[in-house]
Every structure is written in C-alpha cells, then in structure tokens.
Chain A
C-alpha cells in the first residue's frame, strides 16, 4: 500500500514536471540554435555578430547578398502592435469601466459571453477578415478615397485593427476584474463628498485599479507582439523599415511562418536565423508577461 502511494506520487510529480520540461525544451532549442551551439555546430550568433543583428537595417536571408538586421522585423512587429494598442487598449479599458461601474447585471451577463466568443475565434479567421473586409471596405474607402493615401493589399493597418479586436476581450475582462476588486468603501466615500459617477469612476476607481489595468495592458501587448496568423495573412511578407501603416511589412512571427514553408536544410544560416528571431520574440513576450505578473501580484496584495 505504501509503495503504491509512493508510485502514484512520483507519477503525478512527473506530470507536473512535464510543463517544466516544456520550458526547458524551448529554452534549450532556442539557445543551442541561436546563442551557443554544442561544438562542432555553430549557433547563429557565433556566425553573425549581435551588433549586425541589432543594427543592420536590412533583412534579406534568402538573397545572395545576405543581411541579418532584425530592425525591419522589429519595426513591423511594433508598428502592428502599436496600431493594435492605440485602438484596442482605450476601447478595452472604456468597456471595462462601463461594465464594472455603469452596466446592469443583465448587460454584463450578455456582454461577457460575447467577449468570450470573440476571444475564442481562431486567429486565422481574423486574418481572413482583415484581408477580405477591413482593407477593401474600411481602409480603402476612407484613407485612399478620402485622404489619397496609397493602401497596399497587404498592410500593417488592417493587421493592427484585427489584432486590436483580438486584444479587446483580454483588456476588458482583466481590467474589469481589477476595477471590481476596488473596495466599495472607496466609491461610497467619494459619492459622500458629492462626486459624480464620472468623477468616481475616472478619478477614484481607475487610479485605485491602475496596476491591474497596466498588467492587462502588458498582457495584451505581449499577445499582440506574439500574434502570428492574422499578421502573416494581412500584413504581408516584405521586411521594410517603415512607419507607413498602409505599406506591406513583415513581423517577426510572419517571418518565422514564412520560413517554415520553404524546407531549409537544418544547419543552414537561414534555418538558424529563424531561431535568432524566435529567441528575440520569446525574450520580448516573456519579459512583458513577467512584468505583468509582478504588477498583478503587487496589486493583489494591496486590497486583501
């Protein structure tokens, strides 16, 4: 009986360690292909200097004249994520304030499941939506028709808009949690001083929940940076260093997907470039998530 209990415990420990092993696996794969390889193999950064990687302004791994400057990919990523943030964060926050401070219980019970459905829609569907609806029916009539910009079929703006739609449910539900966990006494104290509902919401509740809101923003941004399919479909595949939202760009994730189509031989420099980009992406999203968690933990301690 004792032996059996022990065996079960060990098996369960193994299950729990599977997730740790996943992390170790990810880090091992990224490090050995990008940073330091086991000799005689050579990792990406043992062949291309980090200085070139982070300062060269051209990304042409598939051409004869190879350049490995990640700046165009970073710019593309941040352009798309930036557009998504500018649109998605305010809408998500306003929605969360409304749901937590204004909306009736019935509205909440109606809206939250809708947001859940929106959050559950596969990203490839959003890519389709960006390409087939957002660019021809929203961007083209407004920016090409009215303002005279040239809007490419593939552009950062359409990708940014659909990524904004994707992060709205995240911001709304997480910020709403933070707003609702602000003690009622604070609101009542403000009302007692004659504050209006707007003043209570915007000047008391939101500042009190600020750390939780910031955490949700960071999480949403990390999602936007790591978003792949919608961006690969809608933003295009041309790594250009530009801030023009109506041009085709390539993000880090889109590059990774596009490389996977062409079966690069293992060990070639292009194959390793994939891991260098993936490492950059991983470090970026991981640090955003960690900061978000740290903020979240601090905020939980304040009101409990």
Chain B
C-alpha cells in the first residue's frame, strides 16, 4: 500500500530535479557573470592602489608648485595645472553657450524636418570620431589656419580702452588653439546632455507660460532654461571632466612636453590681482597640460620619472573625482527639485 503511494511521488520529485549537467551550467554561468561584473571593480582597485603605491611618496607640496625639471625629485606640475585650467576654462566658455544654443534649437525650435535629422545624425557621428582626428582638425584650422599666413605671420592688435590685445595669426601653438579644439571635442557631449535636460521639462509649464502672454523666447529664457539648468550643469561638468583628461588632440596642437612657464605668467591666483594683464596674454601663450606632462614622464627612460608620473596621475584623478562628485550632486539636486 505505502509503496504504491510513494512510487508516483518519487517520480514527480525526480522530474523536478534538473539533470546534474544543467545544474552545473546554471552555477557556472552565474559565476562567470558575477566574475565579469566585478572584474571592473577589481581592475579599478588594482589601478588605484598601484598608482598610489608608486606615486604617494612623490606627491609633496613642492610637486604642486614646481615646474618640470631634469631632476625627477624637483619636477612638478605647476605648468600643467595652469595649462589645463586655461584650456578647460576657455573650452567651456566656448562650448557651453554654443552647445546649449544648439540644444535649444533642436528641442524648442526645429522639432522636426530634414534639418533636424541632419544635425542629429551629424552629432551622433561626431561623438564617435576619435579624439586624435579633432586634433588634426585643430592643427589645420587653428594652429596653421590652412597655411594662409604661412609666409607672413601677422599680429592682430585689438585695442581696448586700457590696453591692447595682441592676437597672433595664425593662432599657432597657443592655449587658444588647444581650447578651441577641446571645445569642438566636448560640443557633442554638451548638446546631448542639454537636450536631455530640456526634454525633461514637461510641456505643461511651457503652455502655462504662453497662456500668461510670454513670447517663445521669453518662455525658453525664463521658464524652460531656468528649470533645465541643473540638468545642463550635470552634462557640462561631465564634459569638463572629459576635457581635462584629453591628451592626444593637445599633442597634435603642439602642446609643449617640457615647459617652465605658465600661460600669461600667472602662477597663483594672487598673480591675477598683481598683474591682471596676464589674463589677456594667457590665451595666446604657449602651454602644456597635466595629461601631457604625464605622457612625457611616462615616456622618459629614467625609472624615477615613473614615480613622478604616478604622482601626477593622482593629482589628475583627484581633480576628476571632484568633478564627478559635483556632477552627482547636481544630478541629485535635479531629482529633488523636479516636482511635476
């Protein structure tokens, strides 16, 4: 009796158990997936620890205030830090208005049609162009200006009330050339981020603005843009972070790998007050940048410079994390403020 009753039960249980081969496949598949997922974290930890181990002892106060040197112990990142500061500030100053303007045009004005499609496809493709190609564009257009002034370089004098700005033509290997190239490079990032921020603003608040008699531009300027600022800011910060680390296009532009001078001779924020004229000279000065210095030190044969490079990488990564942190703060602000 009891045997007859358990027989079918046992059968059922047997069916429920999967074949051993399959159970193993299940386990192994999940393990591989987990391994692949955590691989990124493992690499990141190894990389950071490695860089810290190599560079920590070399990251001193004088490392931040010294110029590059033929003696590894005395080498520093002062020129690179100021170079990167000027490059990224000017690039942002150019790319943000243009990028936000383009985003507004695509989201608020030209919302359909071939023109929009063409610009969209173009932006999508630009985002995939290797950065070195931007470097080539920058070199041909800004540094050499198609060779138009190859035989007689000119200096354009722009006189303001209190002083004159001397603009070299072609721009040559200056901060300005580098900044404009970086601006072109980050333009797609700014446009894409700004478009997303604008799209997140519901049309109801636009309609409310129109209902109150506001014009198209007034609505964009005072309602849509002000609501989209945190979102745009997030994108801009990420674009800046991208620009800080860019190396290849700056090498093409002709950034100096060894330079004991800061753009405009401004070595500390105090210098801006002491000789403000440096502010006007800086964009037309020669430059180096933090990632360029890293590249230079990595390429040196002396092993000590590996440590110098590691110290500079720590500085660069800390800078990047500051920007990433700022971006995530801006992002969480956006989420908290959005109440529609």
Main secondary structure of the interface of B (DSSP, over half): helix
Segment at the interface with B among A53-61, A68-76, A143-151, A225-233: A225-233
Which residues from chain B contact A128 at a C-beta distance below 8 Å?
51, 294, 298, 306, 309-310, 313
Which residues from chain B contact A111 at a C-beta distance below 8 Å?
37-38, 40-41
Contact, CB under 8 Å: B50 / A95: no
Segment at the interface with A among B132-140, B159-167, B280-288: B132-140
Chain B nearest Cβ from A108, distance in angstroms? 9
Contact, CB under 8 Å: A120 / B324: yes
A123 to B247, CA, bound (A): 8
Which residues from chain B contact A197 at a C-beta distance below 8 Å?
26, 30
A201 to B106, CA, bound (A): 39
Q: Say which residue of A91, A228, A274 sits within 8 Å of B130 (CB atoms).
A: A228
A164 to B240, CA, bound (A): 24
Q: How many residues of A contact B (CB 8 A)?
A: 91
Which residues from chain B contact A193 at a C-beta distance below 8 Å?
none
Contact, CB under 8 Å: A127 / B298: yes
Contact, CB under 8 Å: A22 / B187: yes
A293 to B242, CA, bound (A): 23
A293 to B123, CA, bound (A): 12
- Write the A256-278 contact mask toward B (1 if CB under 8 angstroms, else 0): 11001101001100000011001
A1 to B217, CA, bound (A): 10
Is B72's beta carbon under 8 Å from chain A?
A: no
Which residues from chain B contact A17 at a C-beta distance below 8 Å?
119
Which residues from chain A contact B101 at a C-beta distance below 8 Å?
11-12, 14-16
Contact, CB under 8 Å: B99 / A15: yes
A4 to B217, CA, bound (A): 9
Which residues from chain B contact A83 at a C-beta distance below 8 Å?
none
Contact, CB under 8 Å: B248 / A12: no
Chain A nearest Cβ from B192, distance in angstroms? 11
Segment at the interface with B among A98-106, A181-189, A239-247: A98-106
Contact, CB under 8 Å: A18 / B294: no
Contact, CB under 8 Å: B215 / A18: no
Q: Say which residue of B35, B134, B140, B252 sits within 8 Å of A33 (CB atoms).
A: B140
Which residues from chain B contact A117 at a C-beta distance below 8 Å?
44, 324
Is B278's beta carbon under 8 Å from chain A?
A: no
Is B191's beta carbon under 8 Å from chain A?
A: yes
User: Residue of B at shortest CB range from A285?
Assistant: B130
Q: How many residues of B contact A (CB 8 A)?
A: 89
- Write the B16-59 contact mask toward A (1 if CB under 8 angstroms, else 0): 00100010011001101111111111011011001100100000
Chain B nearest Cβ from A251, distance in angstroms? 10
Is B322's beta carbon under 8 Å from chain A?
A: no
- Write the A7-31 contact mask toward B (1 if CB under 8 angstroms, else 0): 0110111111111101101100110
Is A97's beta carbon under 8 Å from chain B?
A: yes
Is A204's beta carbon under 8 Å from chain B?
A: no
A41 to B33, CA, bound (A): 57
A18 to B187, CA, bound (A): 9
Contact, CB under 8 Å: B40 / A168: yes
Chain A nearest Cβ from B200, distance in angstroms? 18
Contact, CB under 8 Å: A98 / B37: yes
A97 to B30, CA, bound (A): 9
Contact, CB under 8 Å: A102 / B34: yes
Give the contacts of B170-197 with A (CB-CB under 8 A): 184, 187-188, 191
Contact, CB under 8 Å: B40 / A260: no
- Write the B114-147 contact mask toward A (1 if CB under 8 angstroms, else 0): 0000110011111011111111110111001001
Is B76's beta carbon under 8 Å from chain A?
A: no
Which residues from chain B contact A8 at a C-beta distance below 8 Å?
217
Is A169's beta carbon under 8 Å from chain B?
A: yes
Taking each of A15, A17, A121, which has the highest tally of chain B beta carbons within 10 Å of its own beta carbon?
A: A15
Chain B nearest Cβ from A148, distance in angstroms? 26
Is B93's beta carbon under 8 Å from chain A?
A: no
A244 to B110, CA, bound (A): 53
Chain B nearest Cβ from A26, distance in angstroms? 5
Is A86's beta carbon under 8 Å from chain B?
A: no
User: Residue of A at shortest CB range from B303?
Assistant: A132
Is A142's beta carbon under 8 Å from chain B?
A: no
Which residues from chain A contact B51 at a C-beta distance below 8 Å?
125, 128-129
Is A191's beta carbon under 8 Å from chain B?
A: no
Contact, CB under 8 Å: B124 / A227: no
Q: A94-B32, A102-B33, A196-B18 are in contact. Are A23 and B125 (CB under 8 A)?
A: yes
Contact, CB under 8 Å: B122 / A29: no
A101 to B324, CA, bound (A): 28
User: Residue of A at shortest CB range from B121?
Assistant: A293
Chain B nearest Cβ from A29, distance in angstroms? 4
A131 to B306, CA, bound (A): 10
User: Residue of A at shortest CB range from B25?
Assistant: A198
Which residues from chain B contact A202 at a C-beta distance below 8 Å?
29
Which residues from chain A contact B137 at a C-beta distance below 8 Å?
22, 25-26, 29
Which residues from chain A contact B43 at a C-beta distance below 8 Å?
118, 165
A-B contact pairs, 6 of them (CB 8 A): A15-B100, A16-B106, A121-B317, A132-B298, A275-B136, A289-B125
Report, nearest first, the 5 A-B pairs whose CB atoms are least far apart. Answer: A122-B245, A226-B130, A98-B33, A15-B101, A94-B36
- Contacts A102-B34, A121-B47, A266-B147 known; list 6 others, CB within 8 Å: A25-B137, A102-B33, A115-B40, A120-B320, A219-B128, A290-B125
| B residues neighboring A (CB under 8 Å) | 18, 22, 25-26, 29-30, 32-41, 43-44, 46-47, 50-51, 54, 97-102, 104-106, 109-110, 118-119, 122-126, 128-137, 139-141, 144, 147, 150, 184, 187-188, 191, 215-217, 238, 241-242, 244-248, 251-252, 254, 257, 291, 294-295, 298-299, 306, 309-310, 313, 316-317, 320, 324
